Homo-oligomer: A and B are copies of this chain.
């Protein structure tokens, strides 16, 4: 083998923000949120810090851009020519599934809500609520409520994924442990939580999320 030149030659496969975000997304998806460091990113891309920072402002920028990408893909992929109510459920489920598949998106949405991803979500939900004939004066509040509910669930998903990432075997074990903990609480001090332990163990996140959406939609229907 020829001796390596004093400096590695200029790469031919041009670096770009897209390529950086793509690599970041892969790392985030396979190894979780805190596995994404600039060092890992440089290794993965066979480059150095300078090259990356030339295309990208900082680490938050990478995370935000990756989030925007995921969300944009969801929002364009959802069928919106269904009846508004069904479309709303579809949008919500689409978001849930995307965040379930990429839990780091959930954390990011709460962390920097002013970036484009949330705008897309607001727009889509607001427009559908309008189609549902929610009165104009209530539209803003209703959209805010629904978006915040989605964000709350998103954050929880991200937290659970983080907990599962290190230790904690798998999800059913995790839930069983939590449920056992709940059911051991003093029924006099914690009657509700104690009773809910069973449902905690058996519940399906996705179905519960949808049940919440339905509750909100029912509440919104009373506004008309």
Contact = CB atoms under 8 A, between A and B. Distances in A.
Contacts of A219: 214-220, 222
B148 A178 contact: no
B156 A149 contact: no
Q: Determine the main DSSP class of A at the interface with B.
A: helix
A216 B145 contact: yes
B196 A126 contact: yes
Contacts of A151: 152, 155-156
Count copies of this chain in the complex.
Answer: 2
A90 B221 CA distance: 24
A215 B145 contact: yes
10 contacts: A119-B193, A127-B191, A130-B192, A138-B211, A141-B212, A152-B154, A152-B155, A215-B220, A218-B218, A218-B223
Interface of A: 107, 110-114, 119, 122-123, 126-127, 130, 138-145, 147-156, 158-160, 163, 178, 182, 185, 190-193, 196, 199-200, 203, 208, 211-212, 214-223
Closest 4 CB pairs of A and B: A219-B219, A152-B152, A126-B192, A145-B212
